[in-house]
């Protein structure tokens, strides 16, 4: 296979243009371009460009790397179109786009034929892979890419040069700033706003607004036994080192968080979260607000294991599992330890 597509020319307009694919590290993009070229007849030839000299002549899905990005300076602008396949970082994607703009080659997009864009506002250089969903009234600014199986909900907005990873879900009316990277399988709940230059890690569920420049990441997965935590205070962590007045103060703060999320005036300290009408969405919101107040101590699965105000408060005050911590969890353990020390240093509430 070579980069000549061998398809019909556009009637009355002479030979079809060459499509220049910028970035050889994404063979999925090359394959998408090949499929669209053959189904639409839009391009007569595909050419890969990459600034890594070691890749010169290398073929990706049968398309050869013909030179660096600067090769665009010498091509016939009337017979060329360009698309960026760079997606490792949003900053890199934005930088490549700025360079390509200098050469004045017309941008084009790559949108898989199974993706419905009806009712959405999209830039001409949008790249969308198969099985993705773009909701009506969504607005996507220039330079964005949406990978396989991802969903952009209705009324959502993506800023410039954003990357939405495979199977990520942006729910309805989400607002994403410029140069935001949303990792694989991440979920952003409805009406959340994310600032510029944010990185959202794989598998994260974002329940609250994220400030510009932040990084959001998930805790490593762990197994929770199938119990609801109503048989008494059995804690797989050290007993809290706080006095009873201090614990009572933390319990009041935790109960306030539960009440605000569950819309309850009073939350009994021994009442089970699920008996109070708790849901998985409510659990995410409670953990998010608790971590804002107490530091990054909890993860959503904790509410399934410590499902009362009393047990969850002691989880916050008492620390993590007594099991040994692996090297991969060391950073998380340090953050939790710092948060506990902040709690222990607080003046007891009266």
- The CATH architecture that domain 244-344 belongs to is Orthogonal Bundle (1.10)
Percent pLDDT > 90 in the chain is: 57
> pLDDT tens across 257-270, in order?
999 999 898 889 89
110-218 carries CATH number 3.10.105.10: no
**Mean of the pLDDT values across residues 40-55?**
95
H/E segment holding residue 65: strand 63-67
Confidence band, pLDDT 50/70/90 cuts, at residue 49: very high
What's the mean per-residue pLDDT of the chain?
82
Confidence band, pLDDT 50/70/90 cuts, at residue 2: very low
Buried b / exposed e along 89-102 (16+ C-beta atoms within 10 A)? ebebbbebbeebee
pLDDT of residue 55: 94
Sign of CA dihedral 284, 285, 289, 294: negative
Q: Is the pLDDT of residue 283 over 70?
A: yes
> pLDDT tens across 201-239, in order?
888 889 889 999 988 876 554 454 444 444 444 444 444
Rounded CA separation 305/158 (Å): 36
Sign of CA dihedral 235, 223, 299, 263: negative
Confidence band, pLDDT 50/70/90 cuts, at residue 40: very high
> pLDDT tens across 139-194, in order?
999 999 999 999 999 999 999 999 999 999 999 999 999 999 999 999 999 999 99
**Mean of the pLDDT values across residues 81-89?**
95
Q: Is the pLDDT of residue 75 over 50?
A: yes
Closest C-alpha to 181, from 157, 215, 151: 215
**Mean of the pLDDT values across residues 79-98?**
94
Q: Which residue has the higher pLDDT, 80 or 340?
A: 80
**Mean of the pLDDT values across residues 109-129?**
97
Q: Is the pLDDT of residue 249 over 90?
A: no
78 SS3 class: helix
pLDDT of residue 216: 86
Q: Which residue has the higher pLDDT, 243 or 77?
A: 77
Whole-prediction pTM: 0.64
pLDDT of residue 64: 95
Domain ranges of the chain: 18-108, 110-218, 244-344
Q: Which residue has the higher pLDDT, 304 or 69?
A: 69
Half-sphere exposure of 14 (CA within 13 A, CB side): 5
Place of tokens 């980069």: 3
Rounded CA separation 208/287 (Å): 11
Q: Is the pLDDT of residue 326 over 80?
A: no
18-108 carries CATH number 3.30.70.1280: no
pLDDT of residue 167: 95
pLDDT of residue 15: 74
pLDDT of residue 318: 73
pLDDT of residue 56: 95
Rounded CA separation 245/225 (Å): 31
pLDDT of residue 220: 52
- Could you give the residue ranges of the DSSP H alpha helices within the chain? 27-40, 90-103, 244-262, 280-294, 302-305, 309-318, 330-344
Confidence band, pLDDT 50/70/90 cuts, at residue 301: confident
């Amino acid at each position: 296979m070579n980069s000549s597509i061998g398809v019909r020319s556009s009637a009355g307009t002479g030979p079809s243009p060459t499509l220049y694919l910028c970035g050889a590290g994404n063979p999925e993009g090359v394959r998408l371009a090949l499929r669209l070229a053959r189904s639409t007849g839009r391009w007569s030839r595909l050419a890969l460009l990459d600034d890594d000299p070691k890749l010169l002549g290398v073929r990706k899905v049968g398309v050869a790397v013909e030179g660096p990005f600067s090769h665009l300076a010498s091509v016939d602008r009337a017979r060329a179109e360009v698309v960026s396949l760079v997606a490792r970082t949003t900053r890199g994607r934005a930088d490549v786009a700025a360079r390509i703009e200098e050469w004045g080659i017309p941008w084009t997009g790559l949108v898989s034929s199974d993706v419905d864009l009806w009712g959405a506002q999209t830039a001409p250089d949008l790249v969308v892979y198969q099985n993705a969903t773009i909701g009506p009234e969504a607005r996507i600014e220039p330079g964005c890419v949406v990978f396989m199986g991802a969903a952009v909900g209705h009324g959502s907005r993506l800023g410039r040069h954003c990357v939405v990873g495979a199977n990520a879900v942006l729910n309805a009316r989400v607002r994403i700033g410029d140069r935001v990277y949303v990792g694989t399988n991440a979920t952003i709940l409805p009406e959340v706003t994310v600032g510029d230059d944010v990185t959202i890690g794989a598998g994260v569920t974002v329940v609250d607004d994220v400030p510009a420049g932040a990084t959001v990441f998930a805790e490593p997965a762990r197994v929770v036994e199938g119990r609801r935590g109503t048989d008494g205070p059995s804690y797989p962590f050290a007993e809290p080192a706080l006095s009873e007045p201090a614990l009572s103060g933390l319990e009041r703060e935790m109960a306030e968080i539960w009440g605000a999320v569950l819309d309850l005036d009073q939350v009994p300290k021994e009442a089970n979260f699920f008996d109070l009408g708790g849901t998985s969405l409510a659990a995410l919101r409670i953990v998010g607000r608790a971590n804002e107040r107490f530091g990054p101590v909890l993860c959503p699965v904790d509410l399934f294991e410590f499902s009362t105000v009393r047990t969850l408060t002691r989880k916050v005050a008492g620390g993590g599992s007594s099991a040994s911590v692996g090297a991969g969890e060391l950073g998380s353990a340090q953050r939790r330890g710092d948060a506990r020390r902040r709690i222990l240093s607080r003046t007891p509430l009266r």
